[in-house]
Amino acid sequence: MTFLDSAVWGGKFCSDGWRHSPARQPVTEPATGDRLGTVGVATAEDVDRAAARAAETQRAWAATSPQRRAAVLRRAGELFTEHAAEIEDWLVREAGSVRSKAGFETGLAIGECFECAALPAHPQGEVLTSEDARWSLARRRPAGVVGVIAPFNFPLVLGLRSVAPALALGNAVLLKPDPRTAVSGGVVIARIFEEAGLPAGVLHLLPGDGAVGRAVVEAPEVRVVSFTGSTPVGRAIGERAGRLLKRAHLELGGNNALVVLPGADVARAASAGAFGSYLHQGQICMTTGRHIVHESLVDEYTAALAAKADALRVGDPAREDVALGPLIDRGQLERVHCIVTDSVAAGAKLAAGGEIDGAGYRATVLTGLTTDMPAWREEIFGPVAPVVSFSTTEEAARIVNDSEYGLSVGILGDVGTAMRLADRIDSGKVHINEQTVSDEPNAPFGGVKASGTGSRFGGPAANAEAFTETQWLTVRPDIADYPF
């Protein structure tokens, strides 16, 4: 039996052990449409039971020694390493990842576990001064039960980056993966922590549709909701959580800009731009969605980018050596094509691509855009690179900031000019002489404006803010005297 053998999880979800479900959904390979298995689908009632059980087990887990919690996280990292090849196969077949992206994602998962293994030993508060004869402390306590709702694009790491720190800091977790990646974004995580020695009932895997997600948000025991996904869904979750007086950490969409400054090395810039726009078929919140190129370089840059796009082969990453795999489903494929064709109809020009290729989409370059065209204003979530020019850094800053999103920006070229430009940009992340797609387990991650509620992932400070509450504690040597 393999680590992810369907005999363990087929037709089941995980809530205090693997449970058979009368409702099931297929696990489908987007490149071929083949069925890879079935998973059990949870109901709102299952969520309610899981939340109640999670609240019971959380107190004992929080009382577990920091050394024990750290050991579970370290063992999880070791298990990801031991079973990396099998996990990568699932990322390739279920999520449509090319092999290099699957390896990168699994590596991030390993790093996330080892980084979070240090969290239990970090300082859990601070000593405060007090005008009275007492000790005064501000201490971090686990939030309690955390609801995690994860997306399909980087299903493993975008779920794990909430699950791992939440567990390390003493919380219980309800995990709802995207239905299209319930194995690589759900079963994998549940199996890893099961084998790592996490007590039963602390982590619950609850695949399902939007009704299951709503139940996770609304369960009274859930005090923190961590959502990664689209801005419209994030707004709805934030509104509902606000009414329920719960914290919602929202990592949402992006329409990220890559600025190419005058004098930049065009060949290197085009390579960076291609990677930023075409990695994982552009299905990344950090994807380079807008190429803003100085007028002295724009023609040369566009030609170089188009040449790279034309050279990228589209196909089935499980059976072919390709650069671009399938989009996650037919609906997303048609949406991308519609944005491209609508923009061309409005006057944009195709420099490369613009075609559906089986279950995938050709790497595309668009020029001649105006800022009101859908390919410029919308988050495409496909392998499309729109290019416009600028003449001054002031104009570049204005174009970058003229977006409802603010997640990631890359600036290529002279470092001094880039530093001055960075100071004028509204973005959660700025990368100088790098493209827009970058993530490390110890680095803060998050966006502003419609891209989310700021950095709530990565590093001890962000994780502590996300998954703990601050409690004021005072201690006196004797009972105080009062005037009553």
Query: Taking 90 as the threshold, does the pLDDT of residue 395 lie above it?
Result: yes
Residue 203 lies in a domain: yes
Q: Which of 113, 251, 394, 404 is catalytic?
A: 251
Are residues 421 and 465 located together in one domain of the fold? no
Active site residue 285: yes
Residue 55 lies in a domain: yes
Residue 237: the pLDDT is: 97
- The answer to whether 96 touches 279, Cβ cutoff 8 Å, is no
Are residues 217 and 89 located together in one domain of the fold? yes
Are residues 428 and 458 located together in one domain of the fold? no
| CA 453/CA 297 separation, integer angstroms | 35
Q: Which of 14, 113, 116, 285 is catalytic?
A: 285
Percent with pLDDT over 90 in the chain: 98
DSSP string, 151-205: -SSSHHHHHHHHHHHHHHTT-EEEEE--GGGTIIIIIHHHHHHHHHTPPTTSEEE
Percent with pLDDT over 70 in the chain: 100
Are residues 190 and 309 located together in one domain of the fold? no
| CA 366/CA 352 separation, integer angstroms | 7
Residue 315: the pLDDT is: 98
- The answer to whether 123 touches 150, Cβ cutoff 8 Å, is no
Within 8 A by CB and 6+ apart from 459, the residues are 442, 443, 444
Which residues span the domain enclosing 343? 256-432
Are residues 97 and 241 located together in one domain of the fold? yes
Q: Mean pLDDT throughout 342-357?
A: 98
Query: Taking 90 as the threshold, does the pLDDT of residue 457 lie above it?
Result: no
Which element (helix H / strand E) includes 473?
Answer: strand 468-475
Are residues 113 and 223 located together in one domain of the fold? yes
- The answer to whether 262 touches 296, Cβ cutoff 8 Å, is yes
Query: Residue 297: which CATH number?
Result: 3.40.309.10
Q: Of 104, 102, 414, 424, nearest to 257 (Cα)?
A: 424
Q: Of 94, 106, 160, nearest to 328 (Cα)?
A: 94
Are residues 225 and 325 located together in one domain of the fold? no
Residue 484 lies in a domain: no
| CA 19/CA 47 separation, integer angstroms | 13
Residue 392 lies in a domain: yes
Cα distance from N-terminal residue to C-terminal residue, the chain: 71
* Residue 455 pLDDT level (bands cut at 50, 70, 90): confident
SS3 18: strand
Domain count, the chain: 2
Per-residue pLDDT tens digits for 300-333: 999 999 999 999 999 999 999 999 999 999 999 9
- Residue tagged 């800091």 (tokens): 169
Q: Mean pLDDT throughout 358-379?
A: 97
Which residues in 47-94 belong to E strands, given as ranges? none
Are residues 367 and 467 located together in one domain of the fold? no
Report residue 88 as tokens: 């990568």
Are residues 390 and 459 located together in one domain of the fold? no
Are residues 112 and 174 located together in one domain of the fold? yes
- The answer to whether 29 touches 93, Cβ cutoff 8 Å, is yes
Residue 50: the pLDDT is: 98
Q: Tell me the pLDDT of the chain averaged across its residues.
A: 97
Q: DSSP class of residue 92?
A: H
The angle formed by the CA atoms of residues 356, 362 and 364, to the nearest 5 degrees, is 120
Residue 440 lies in a domain: no
DSSP string, 248-295: EEEE----EEEEE-TT--HHHHHHHHHHHHHGGGG-STT-EEEEEEET
Query: Taking 90 as the threshold, does the pLDDT of residue 429 lie above it?
Result: yes
Active site residue 116: no
Residue 447 lies in a domain: no
Query: Taking 90 as the threshold, does the pLDDT of residue 456 lie above it?
Result: no
- Residue tagged 């998973």 (tokens): 39
Its pTM stands at 0.96
| CA 465/CA 209 separation, integer angstroms | 29
Are residues 241 and 340 located together in one domain of the fold? no
Q: Of 407, 394, 133, 368, nearest to 258 (Cα)?
A: 407
Are residues 425 and 464 located together in one domain of the fold? no
* Residue 72 pLDDT level (bands cut at 50, 70, 90): very high
